[in-house]
């Protein structure tokens, strides 16, 4: 039997970071006149933490191998992007919107595949993951191609995309990550004579 400590850490981390993304999204929607530098710093820090959580999730070997299957590359990408954002947070709003929009769109597409895989596994909540993935992907695409240059509206779009991403990841963590205390290892060992 193997330890489920990394899996538990990843699931709890996903839930916490999803809640933080939701709160940050609501904050940006409610207060779109925040300092761009402050937004850049906050988003950069949150993305570094989220990237680390994604890496932990990838190496945790969850039971279904659904929730974290794309998180190695995505975690590294989030960490790299957040470093770029933190270097010059005051001049990053346009870059931040495009990059986060692409990242959220990509994560939505990956989660669509996760939802379809969850359906094949017989998880009853696959449709919820699919619906939220489509919504997050559409909002991510709108953020990339933002139809306006108004800083208030762009900040609100950023908030909506972070909120959608937070809800999507919360749903995936709760619906597709199963922790079984006495989970068997991936390899069955036998003695051959």
Whole-prediction pTM value?
A: 0.78
Distance separating alpha carbons of residues 104 and 24, to the nearest angstrom: 15
Distance separating alpha carbons of residues 128 and 132, to the nearest angstrom: 6
- Tens digits of residue pLDDT in 24-62: 999 999 998 888 788 888 888 998 998 998 888 888 876
- Backbone angles phi and psi of 126, in degrees to 5: -60, -35
Task: Give the ranges where 59-176 is alpha helix by DSSP (H).
Answer: 71-87, 93-121, 126-144, 151-176
- Tens digits of residue pLDDT in 78-98: 899 888 888 877 667 778 788
pLDDT of 190 reads 59
Residue 188 has pLDDT above 60, yes or no: no
- Tens digits of residue pLDDT in 93-114: 778 788 888 889 998 999 999 8
- Percent of the chain at pLDDT above 90? 29
Distance separating alpha carbons of residues 110 and 45, to the nearest angstrom: 23
């Amino acid at each position: 039997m193997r330890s489920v400590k990394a899996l538990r850490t990843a699931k709890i981390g996903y839930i916490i970071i999803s809640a933080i993304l939701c709160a940050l999204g609501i904050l940006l929607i409610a207060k779109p006149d925040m300092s761009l530098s402050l937004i850049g710093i906050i988003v950069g820090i949150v993305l570094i933490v989220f990237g680390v959580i994604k890496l932990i999730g990838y190496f945790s070997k969850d039971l279904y191998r659904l929730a974290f299957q794309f998180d190695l590359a995505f975690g590294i990408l989030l960490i790299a992007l957040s470093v770029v954002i933190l270097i010059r947070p005051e001049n990053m709003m346009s870059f931040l919107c495009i990059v986060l929009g692409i990242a959220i769109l990509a994560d939505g597409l990956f989660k669509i595949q996760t939802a379809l895989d969850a359906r094949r596994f017989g998880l009853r909540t696959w449709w919820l993951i699919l619906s939220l993935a489509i919504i997050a992907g559409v909002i991510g695409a709108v953020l990339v191609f933002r139809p306006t240059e108004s800083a208030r509206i762009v900040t609100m779009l950023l908030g909506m995309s972070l909120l959608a991403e937070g809800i999507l990841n919360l749903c995936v963590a709760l619906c597709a990550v199963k922790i079984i205390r006495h989970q068997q290892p991936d390899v069955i060992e036998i003695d051959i004579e």
